[in-house]
Amino acid sequence: MIDWVTIFSWARDIPVLLIPALLILYWYIRIPGNMPKNIPTVPIYISLLGLWSDMGQDDIFDRWLREPLEKHGAVKIWFAGRWNVLATRPQFLVDMFRQEDVYAKAGSQKKIPWSVIAALVGDNIINAHGQNWKLYTSIMKAGLQRRITDSAPLLEKSRLFVDILVEEQKKLGIEKGVLVNPIIQRWALSCMGINFMNVDLEALERPGQRLEELQTIIKKTLFKPLFFNFPDLDKYPGLFRQRKDAFAVMQEFGDLLVDTVRRRIQSTDQDGEQVVDYLDRALKEGKIDEEQYRANLKVTFLTAHENAQQLLNSTFWVFGSNKAIQNKLRAEILATDTANPSTETINSLPYLYSVILELLRLYPPVSQLINRVTTSTCALGGSITIPNHTWVGWNAFGVHTDQSIWGPDAREFKPERWGSDVKSIQNALRSKTTACHFIAFNAHSRKCLGQGFAVLQMKIVLCELVRRLEWDIDPGYELKLTSGGIMAPLGLRAIVRERQV
């Protein structure tokens, strides 16, 4: 027999339970009254699309962010458990980047110090501010900016990368494309290891190593939409088993990385000491403690391979869907008449340089970043009043595809827009970065210290790729970009063919 008394009693209690829950939720997601009133608010559900949609971030930006950002220059947006100010207008970005003491760099270790991502990166050279940033820079800058004169180590890894692509294609036959991202990740890890960690991780030679596996796990773990947007849930790993496991993964990665570099066989690089060597010395001399050492080692490992990995993913898409670009670049490279180009030769190729900059413009690996916090009430660009302790950031994809900045062909892949010779390309890069029209490497005092290496690494691998291979996009593949965080094609497959060299 149905107990109607119990059912009605339970139903009567629902509002009693529901109303407090709704009030708590409202308090959590409300827009603070002191947030700027003269810029629009992006509805919170846009930030939560990843909970039920797999739309790419280009589609999300075009549908909901482009119009308000191009009209107002900035918006209020929900990110990492709070409302932030996101800007794309260059004059706002110049103000933000130049006034380091007003818009202070501060990452997850300050914003959400209890979170999984904070456990991963800690206090590091990218997100530190003030004395800590100056300390880390004084230690690491020489290693990050060392001039690479010997192209052979990077060229060797690039050749092995191409060999593996060819072998994988043979296994699949000519009808199905190679899933490129896993192999690209191994290449990127190998290049990072020999140039920053002073160790050959042999990720290409020995696939499936734990450090490599952990990178795939970490990327999937960090960008889970629910925890990414509501990081307060990370405070309760006892209630969410997957977060408990996530913290364990971050700890394992840090321990394994430190153990790997400490067990390395010390070698002398003809181009000077590497980042890990400077960090080792600083730790030994007591300039930094163990946690600072680990954090900066981890962030170097992560950023020095991740950005190159995703940019090369985008390269496969662009070249595979636009054979004219591929062919023009191949002609320039073959004209050097060498299979072993020196860094001097590689750096003398203007079209190669402009292609990489155009890739960075349309497919910036770090497409959006909100990692600055105001240290006092201020007026962004002199017009948007932002209260103290408000997080602000930028969207590179929005800046790089704004027609008012780049012209009516802003969405087209057009390397020629950068110039026809190396000097003019360098001048264009310098001026566009200073004006914050191009922010793939950030700008002003916090410009990426590893920019030179990243570009050289891409030049070398592209030389080897287009010299030895031609490729098309698998007919069954449809472009879909990642939904957040890094920007790159998802699951791209390319049909590669070896050229007669």
**Alpha helices for 1-56 (secondary structure H):** 4-29, 44-47
Residue 481, amino acid: L
* Block residue for tokens 């287009």: 466
Q: What is residue 373's three-state secondary structure?
A: strand
* Beta-sheet pairing, 178-179 with 493-498: antiparallel
End-to-end Cα, the chain, rounded Å: 84
For the chain, the C-alpha Rg in angstroms (whole number) is 24
* 191 labeled part of a ligand binding site: no
Structure tokens at 375: 């240290």
Strands (E), 329-458: 368-374, 378-380, 384-386, 391-395
- What's phi and psi for 98, nearest 5 deg? -75, -35
What are the φ and ψ backbone dihedral angles of 448, each rounded to 5 degrees?
-55, 125
The CA distance from 182 to 468, in Å, is: 20
Q: What is the distance between the alpha carbons of residues 460 and 156, in angstroms, rounded to a whole number? A: 10
Q: Are 205 and 214 in contact (CB under 8 A)?
A: no
Order of all β-strands in the sheet with 103-105: 74-79, 82-87, 391-395, 368-374, 103-105
Structure tokens at 365: 């690996």
Q: Which residue positions form the known binding site? A: 448
Residue ranges of the binding site for heme: 448
